[in-house]
Amino acid sequence: MAASASASVPSVTGLSSGLTSNHWLIGIGGILTLLLIAVLVSADRKAIRLRMVACAFALQVLIGVLVLHTSWGKAGVQAIAQGVEALMGYSKGAIDMLFGGLVNVPGGAGFAINVLPVIVFFAALASVLYYLKIMQLIIKVIGGGLGFIIGISRVEALAAAANVLVGQSESPLVVRPYLAGLTKAQLFAIMASGMAGVAGTILAAYAQIGIKIDYLLAASFMSAPGGLLMAKIIIPDPRRAVIHSPEPIMEDADHHPKSLLAAISDGVQDGLKIAISVGGMVLAFVALIALVNGILGGIGGLFGYPDLTLQGMLGFVFAPVMFLINIPWHEAVTAGGLFGEKLIMNEFVAYLHLMDEGGQLSARSTAIMSFALCGFANLSSIAIQLAVIGGLAPNQRDMIVKLGPRALLAATLANLMNAAIAGLLLFH
């Protein structure tokens, strides 16, 4: 099931076949529709700060233009992608040594052998970068840029920046001392940006499945302003005010490793937990989907629909949404099924099935779906954030439960916005 990082998904340069006027109308209409949905569900439409929203949207589009539509931007993201692929190559050497002949079995090695060990390696690498204070510097630079351009508080900006690198489970630790005192709008922004993004360690695993790393990197960076965009529309700061906070302390003495070896050990332990969790979820969800499809097929067969599946049902539900992000209507049901899987289950299962679809989706639709599926916006993320943020700030647990569904909606809209923007930029 696993594939090399360079396989399957076509490159940016191989997709530029031009957009018709219909594609432009659908793409722009889709973007406006996503913004309208956010406005309609806003808790206080009068409090929405248009400048903040406009700056967040402009930054999201600008990142997309830079990394997808300019020659030097493409070169930059491809250089980063080559670096990631090189790192995965180093992990492959360790995988070969650990699993020996199992890696080269006929038909290819399985998901557990080719993908999960990569998570452990990247988690250890991230821990080393934290120990050397390199990760903190990157987060401060990205967070400073987000805060200055969009006009949000430093706590929100740093948490959103951390989501680009470490994901929703670890990013709250960056602003841990301030979680208990966050306002409703600030907490919501952190939750929404967390669900909209993905962890850097997981990006490598997606790439190992066969998803184009260029798209994953672009979607990851676009998700930071995208998540904040939707968050500041749905739960805006009260009375048009931005509540600033002191400069967050990014060092936690209780959780700082004492040596480089301790940092590596901590990273390995964290990576193992993530890998086991991901492997267990994929195993359970794939098997459960097969079970549900078997039941649906049996019931459907009684009424002349033996091919009835969960993906097909979800596909019909989300097909109109897929059409709005420039998926052709004849492919919208297939794409909608994948997006429904991502929302109800998780993005790993959806990405695996995206690679399995083969010729059912065109190169263009596959590229757009690579953006739409890139994010932690699924039902289980509400529970994850309740456990992580609620554990760090118990006084916020009730608010997290209350805000969870809306945060999921905001993150979902952000992922769809990434896809809608990419749908215009990749094929212009």
Q: Where does 72-153 show beta strands of DSSP type E?
A: none
Cα 152 versus chain centre, distance = 21
End-to-end CA distance of the chain: 33
Q: Please count the other Cβ atoms lying within 10 Å of the Cβ belonging to residue 39.
A: 13
For residue 252, the model assigns a pLDDT of: 54
What residues have CB less than 8 Å from 95, skipping those under 6 apart? 103, 113, 114, 117, 118
Contacts 24+ apart (CB under 8 A), 15-23: 15/363, 15/364, 15/367, 15/426, 15/427, 16/426, 16/427, 16/428, 17/364, 17/427, 18/427, 18/428, 19/424, 19/427, 19/428, 23/326, 23/423, 23/424, 23/427
For residue 251, the model assigns a pLDDT of: 55
Give the ranges where 175-309 is alpha helix by DSSP (H): 184-196, 200-209, 213-234, 260-302
Does residue 414 form part of some domain? yes
Does residue 340 form part of some domain? yes
H or E, element range at 6: none
CB 9 within 8 A of CB 370: yes
Of 106, 126, 128, 130, which is closest to residue 118 (Cα–Cα)? 126
H or E, element range at 87: helix 71-99
What DSSP string describes 381-428?
A: HHHHHHHHHHHH-GGGHHHHHHHHHHHHHHHHHHHHHHHHHHHHHTT-
User: 18 exposed, middle or buried (CB, 10 Å; 0-12, 13-18, 19+)?
Assistant: exposed
Q: How many domains does the chain have?
A: 1
Does residue 164 form part of some domain? yes
Q: What's the alpha-carbon Rg for the chain, to the nearest Å?
A: 21
HSE (side-chain half, CA atoms, 13 Å) at 254:
3
Nearest-angstrom CA–CA distance, 123 and 110: 21
Tokens representing 406 are 């809306």
Does residue 137 form part of some domain? yes
Does residue 393 form part of some domain? yes
What is the full per-residue pLDDT of the chain (428 aa) written as tens digits?
A: 444 444 444 444 445 445 567 888 899 999 999 999 999 999 999 999 999 999 999 999 999 999 888 888 888 877 887 887 787 778 777 877 777 666 555 444 566 776 678 778 888 888 888 889 887 888 888 888 888 899 898 889 888 988 887 778 777 877 777 888 899 999 999 999 999 998 876 787 888 888 888 899 899 999 999 999 999 999 998 865 555 555 555 555 556 788 999 989 988 888 888 778 777 877 887 788 889 889 999 999 999 888 888 878 888 999 999 999 999 999 999 999 999 989 988 888 899 889 886 568 888 899 999 999 999 998 888 888 888 888 888 899 999 999 999 999 999 999 999 999 999 987 65
Q: Look up the domain containing 42 and give its range.
A: 12-425
What residues have CB less than 8 Å from 207, skipping those under 6 apart? 5, 84, 85, 88, 213, 216
Does residue 329 form part of some domain? yes
Does residue 6 form part of some domain? no
Does residue 1 form part of some domain? no
For helices 116-131 and 260-302, angle between their N-to-C axes, nearest 10 degrees:
150
CB 130 within 8 A of CB 264: no
For residue 4, the model assigns a pLDDT of: 43
For residue 325, the model assigns a pLDDT of: 95
For residue 142, the model assigns a pLDDT of: 84
CB 110 within 8 A of CB 140: no
* Residue carrying structure tokens 């005192």: 181
For helices 329-344 and 363-372, angle between their N-to-C axes, nearest 10 degrees:
30
Q: Between the CA of residue 265 and those of 34, 123, 124, 259, what are the distances in Å?
A: 43, 10, 7, 10
Put simply, whether the predicted model's pTM sits higher than 0.85 gets the answer no
